[in-house]
Every structure is written in structure tokens, then in C-alpha cells.
Chain A
Amino acid sequence: MSSKKIKNKEIRAASLLEKKSTRRNFLKGLSIAAAAGSAALTTGCIPAADAASTEELKLRWQEFFKKNYRLMTQEEKDATVARLERLSKLNANLDVQMGSYPPLDGVLYGYAFNITRCEGFMECVTACVKENNLDRKTNTQYIRIFEMEPGQLDPSTGDGQYYHEVPVDNKFYMGTQCFHCEKAPCTKACPTKATWKEPDGIVVVDYDWCIGCRYCQAACPYYGRRFNWGKPEIPKEEVTRRQHYLGNRIRPMGKMEKCTFCIQRTRKGRLPACVEACPTGARVFGNLLDPESEIRYVLKHKKVFRMKEELGTDPKFWYFID
């Protein structure tokens, strides 16, 4: 099939999808659906409703046939990042700076959460949503904070939906997120190797390689994964423009996403947004391989525990008590 023909088909499908199908032109809708379906399947590219320029179609086309991130050479990574930046400019008139920088040497990230200090303000949640360009429409959040009764240590006994002034007397707070398991059941489950553990311990998803089967979501024992059920919506002025290919770039519809320990920040030596935002200092993040790091101090001197230890997932996220 010549590429021109493919483009024509895409344009046709795009214009067909544009039209609204009402009950009255139900039959028309039927043929639209069939045409769109067949065109989309034969050309193998989701025709964007407003796909206009040939440049955009060309970029989309190249994006469609790219490899899994882990198989790309650095040149290929640079090329796809450039294409994605350009597409973001063309589609949303957004100037983003996307990176694909590799893990730092001699680094294995770990996280600790101080349940004595946390007072449930959820500043971390807000910071995370903002930093990671999470969908505002469905209110996607990587971090959950549970209000717990004394004597309990399992978040499933707590209240994850509280809407009142905090802290409440005689309650304590526990945060959850993806725990970046060393033996992650989610990566084992993925049928296409679209999700994996990076050498610095961060469990990432290649959003463009993921097929959206959600098997990893079923396999995660910590509710660490979120799916893009629709197209994520973020007000343009709120988009964080410093992005990473494996991190906070705006996800396509129908793909899995999750906490990446703010890969776009931490690989540049900064702290994750949640750690920076926490007003009580309940969150500790650092390099587990560095004996001088704060996280190593916590692991050595505090009483720590991990969630659902019995599952053998070996999370790199510890809770501790002062």
C-alpha cells in the first residue's frame, strides 16, 4: 500500500469520525463506524479527529512503527523524543522539553514513609498530580492517603476518602503508591514487556508499547497502577513541560501509567515532587546504595516494615515509626 493511499484513508477516517451520529442518521453512523474501523485497522493508525497537516500524519506514522524503548538506540530515542515534542506543538501548541536520560550509575532508589509524622494534608497528592500531568477529568492520583484507626496497620481498614479537616485526634495517616517492587508481579505479567524495572530500580511503562490489556493492573497487589480510560485532560497552563519519555509526558488514551518516582526529576539528582511538597517531612527518598544517604539511615536506625511482605514482592518502600 502506498503511503499516499494510507494518508488518504486516514484523512477520510478522520473526517468520518468527526461527524456526529444521531439516532436519525443511525444507518449513516453504521457505515461511518464500519469505514472508520476498516480504515483504522488497515492503515494501523488511530486517525485523530483533527488530524490536519501531512507533517503530523507523517510523524504519527513514524511513531506508530517505532520499537519498544528498551530496544532503541540513543539516536532512535532522540528521534522519537523530537517527534513527540513536535507533535505536542502541532496538536496542542505546547512547547515541551522531553528527555530520555538514562539511569545514574550506582543508584538504586528507595523510599520511606514516616507514619508518625504524616498528618494527612495531602500536599503530596496535589504536587504529584501537577508534576506528573495526571488526568484532571477523572481525578487520577498515584498517591493515596488513608486515615487509620490506632491499632491497625493495613490501609484496607482505613478510610481513603476522607474530606474533613486534618489531623484528627487519635488517628494516623498512611500513604500508598507504587512501591517499585524488586520482584514486581506487574512486569512479570505484561505480555509485551511494555513495563519493566530500570537499573536504578524504577518500574516504568513504555506508554507507546503498552497495548492496554490491564493484566499488570490485576497483578499489582498494591493498587499501584492507573489506566487511561479516556484521553487525559490537563489545562494547558498547568502542564508540566519538563518531561521524560518514561515519566510524566502526557499519556495517550488506553495506556497504563504509574508512579515513576518522578523519573524526570530524580535522574537529574532532584527529589520527587511528593517528597519536596510534604510539609511535615514524613517522606524520605534516596539512594539505597549510598551508605551515607538519609534512607539508609532510616533503614538502619528506625523500626521499619513493608506492606504485604508475605507476597514476596520485595517493595522498595518502607513505613517507619519515630
Chain B
Amino acid sequence: MRALHERNLRTFLTDVIRWNLRGSLGVQLFRLVLVGFMGFGVYAYSYQARYGLSVTGMNDIVSWGFYISNFTFLVGVAAAAVMLILPAYVFHDPDFHRVVIIGEGVAVGALVMCLTFILVDLGGPLQAWHLIPVIGIFNFPSSILAWDVLVLNGYLLLNGLIPAYILYSHYKGRPADERKYRPFVFLSIFWAFSIHMVTAFLYQGLPARPFWNNPLMGPRFLASAFAAGPALITLILAIIHTSTTYKIDRSVFNKLRLIIVISAIINLIMLFSEVFKEFYFPTHHSISAVYLWFGMDGHNSLVPWIWTSVCVNLLATLVLAFNPGKNNPKVLLPACLFLFVAIWMEKGIGLIVPGLIPSPLGEVVDYLPTWVEFSVTLGIFALGITVVTWLIRAALIIEQNYSGV
């Protein structure tokens, strides 16, 4: 550990990098695997860069696919950090104060993934600068996509800078000045809701797509995010608890479980309400839902997908709610994992793809991602995991060894 007077911004950065390059054999191996996935993702993307999006499974009817599905879901994961920020900074909950930094790390990782997904989905990624105000044209406020770019980058900035400031203060051996960062915390809370609502409005604002053009979209995005995000954070906290010396209190898990259960139930109620509207008296606006749940004209690739998702979701929610293992982590943690995966299935592919099928002229096709899409997606996940582990590792070392020095 460096002496106090030697610590400055430069040593802060070099220390963070140094800590992250060290580690046991297992950690190194884990990193190697991640780098391998990222490399393979870049390799797959090189095909896309050369031959265009024709190497994906998308076409003029299903014009958004796996990338945008994952993007949509991950916005939710990013927004869910607010479920830790709110109690930690606003209600001064001491349990959450200890873990909020981890939630923020997850948010940053999720946002990095979101932005990368958008980038790889573009037909002209090198023209992306056309989006930057001043040097390009930013169609604001008319285009919701312009709004989305704005809120996502803003949220990334907030969630990167607040923890960076706090950690740097601790690194320098002094407590962070709450008066300085508190306004930004409030801003980031507001912002977390906005990234989710705006992303929902992206779809909700399209009368051309009745499946999406539904006022419940935004609220349901929030509910599912506040279930899936904390479920992921629970899993990460459990990993930290077992594999590092940073111990996490039981009560944190209990409170997180409460948040997950409430959100998951609200999510299911809204899902039920949507399904009721589509099927009680089906109109020609219900055809996408019919395609999704029952298939159409012999095309039914999403039918097993959505039924699996909803059944798993229901089961996981019940397990989390009734807690049959009496707080046994061997029961609750898998339930969190299953809930997370179920929501990923439903709020990713299960939301984006049927919105585009049938086409506005009634044509039904099926969509299957290609190996390029899978590999690029895996690469982006590896990138996200790398970002999260780097941030959390640095944060834990500082919190454990430096704060209070």
C-alpha cells in the first residue's frame, strides 16, 4: 500500500490497473476466458464489418433482432442499480451503503454493453458521429432514439463519476463529502427511471407496431427491470461473499429478496393484464401476440420460447415469495438465476421480435440469430463482465484497505 502523501490521481489509476492484473491462477484463467470470448466476438464482427448485416438473421421484416433485444434487456439491468442507490443514499440504509458501489459497477457494465449493442447493430457504425450534436445532427426532441442516446450516456457518466469520486476520496484516506455528490445521486435516481421509460417509449411511440404501442410498456419495463436487476446483483453479491474477504450481511439479501418479489409480482400482474387484453377479444392488433403465444401460418419458433419463459418466471417468483428452503441460499440463488434468465428471454427476444412479426402487410416469417450474432453477443457479454469485475475489484480493495486510513 502506498503512503498517503504519494497517492494522487495517477497512482489511483495505475493502482486500479495493477490490482486487476494481479490475482490467483483461477482469476487469471477467468480473465483469459473472457478475453478469448471478446476476441472471438471481434473476429465474428469482422465478418459483419465486411459483408454487412446480411450475415445476421435479420431482414426487412424482422429488422431488429438479437442485438436490440439484448440492448433492451440490459437497459433494465442498468436502471436497477437505483434499487440500491435509493435506500443507500436517500434513506441512509447502512446495509445497502456497503453494497451500493457494487450495484453501480453493475450499472456501468450494463451500460457499456448497451452502447456496444447499439453500435454493432448499426449498418454504418463509422457514421455514428452523425449522431453527435454540433459535428453531426441530433434530431432532438423529435426522435426518441436521440433521447435514448442522451439518457444512456448521461446515466453512464453519472454512474461512473459518483462512485469514482467516492472511491477516490477513500483512496486518498478521507471520507467523501456528501454535500458534493448528493445532488448527483438524486439526479441519477431520476435518470435511472428515465433511461427505462425512454427506452420503452422507443417502442411504445410507434403506432405502426400495435404490439408495442401499449401504454403499459414503460411501467412494465420498470417492474421487470427491478426484478431482474436485483436478482443479478444478488447473485453477484453471493459470489463476492463466498470468494472474497468482503462479507455481505444476511439482511442485504433479505431486503433484496423483498424488492425482487414485489417487482416480479407487479410484473406478472401487468403481463396478465396485457395477455387478457390481447386474447379476451382479439382484434387485428392482436396478431403479433397470437404469433408469439401460439404461432401463425406454420411459423412458431417463439412459442416454446415464451411459454418456457413465463413458466420459469412464475415458478421462480413463487419460490422467492414463499421461500420454501427457509432462507437456504441453495434454493434462493438458483431461483434468482432462473428469474433473471426468464426475464431476459421475455423482455429481449420475446418483446422485440414479435413486435415486427407479422410485417405491417401481414407477412409472417421466423427469425433465428446466426452464429455471428451469437458470437458478437457473447463477446459483448464478456466485455460487460470484464468491466464489472474490474470495477468491483478496485472498489472492494479500496473499501477494505484504504477507507478509514
Listed in ascending order, the chain A residues whose CB lies under 8 Å from chain B are 17, 21, 26, 29-30, 32-34, 36-37, 40-41, 44-46, 49, 64, 68, 71, 138, 144, 146, 154-158, 160, 176, 185, 188-194, 208-215, 217-223, 225-231, 252-256, 311-312
Contact = CB atoms under 8 A, between A and B. Distances in A.
26 contacts: A36-B46, A37-B45, A40-B49, A46-B126, A64-B126, A138-B54, A154-B362, A155-B362, A160-B361, A185-B207, A189-B145, A193-B137, A212-B123, A215-B143, A218-B356, A219-B208, A220-B360, A223-B60, A227-B63, A229-B52, A229-B58, A229-B59, A253-B52, A254-B52, A254-B122, A256-B123
Identify the interface centre among B43, B123, B126: most chain A CB within 10 Å of its CB.
B123
Contacts of A189: 143-145, 206
Given A157-B362, A220-B360, A209 B130 contact: yes
A229 B50 CA distance: 11
A192 B126 CA distance: 14
B368 interface: no
A64 B144 CA distance: 26
A34 to B, nearest CB: 6
Nearest to B51: A230
B89 interface: no
Given A209-B127, A230-B54, A254-B53, A221 B64 contact: no
Given A219-B208, A229-B54, A253-B52, A191 B361 contact: no
Contacts of A64: 126
A162 to B, nearest CB: 13
B12 to A, nearest CB: 27
A218 B52 contact: no
A155 B127 contact: no
Nearest to A176: B361
B358 interface: yes
Interface string B139-153: 100111110010000
9 tightest Cβ-Cβ pairs between the two chains A and B? A212-B123, A156-B362, A254-B123, A230-B54, A221-B208, A33-B46, A191-B145, A229-B54, A253-B52
Nearest to B206: A219
Interface in B332-367: 355-356, 358-363
A227 to B, nearest CB: 6
Contacts of A68: 130, 137
B209 interface: yes
Contacts of B46: 17, 21, 29, 32-33, 36-37
Interface in B310-351: none
Contacts of B58: 229
Contacts of B42: 30, 33-34, 37
A231 B43 contact: no
A24 B362 CA distance: 45
Given A37-B45, A37-B46, 11 more contacts: A33-B42, A33-B46, A37-B42, A160-B361, A189-B206, A192-B137, A213-B123, A223-B60, A227-B123, A231-B51, A255-B124
Interface residues of B, number: 55
B206 A218 contact: yes
Contact of B139 (A17, A158, A191, A218): A191
A210 B127 contact: yes
A33 B361 contact: no
Contacts of B52: 228-231, 253-254
Identify the interface centre among A208, A211, A212: most chain B CB within 10 Å of its CB.
A211
Contacts of B143: 188-191, 215
B307 interface: no
Interface string B11-55: 000000000000000000000000000011011011001111110
A40 B45 contact: no
B136 interface: yes
Given A37-B49, A156-B361, A190 B122 contact: no
Given A155-B361, A218-B64, A218-B206, A211 B122 contact: yes
B390 interface: no
A218 B63 contact: yes
A253 B125 CA distance: 11
B305 interface: no
Contacts of B118: 213
B193 interface: no
Nearest to B54: A230
Contacts of A154: 284, 362
Nearest to A231: B52
A311 B131 CA distance: 28
Contacts of B361: 144, 146, 155-156, 160, 176, 222-223
B9 interface: no
A314 to B, nearest CB: 13
B149 A191 contact: yes
Nearest to A312: B207
A49 B59 CA distance: 25
B198 to A, nearest CB: 12
A193 B133 CA distance: 12
B121 interface: yes
Contacts of B206: 185, 189, 218-219
Nearest to A27: B39
A17 B51 CA distance: 11
B405 interface: no
Contacts of A29: 43, 46
Identify the interface centre among A36, A189, A217, A218: most chain B CB within 10 Å of its CB.
A218
A225 B207 CA distance: 16
B315 to A, nearest CB: 33
Nearest to A157: B362
Contacts of A225: 60
B127 A211 contact: yes
Nearest to A41: B126
B138 interface: yes
A193 B63 CA distance: 19
Interface in B132-170: 136-139, 142-146, 149
Nearest to A37: B42
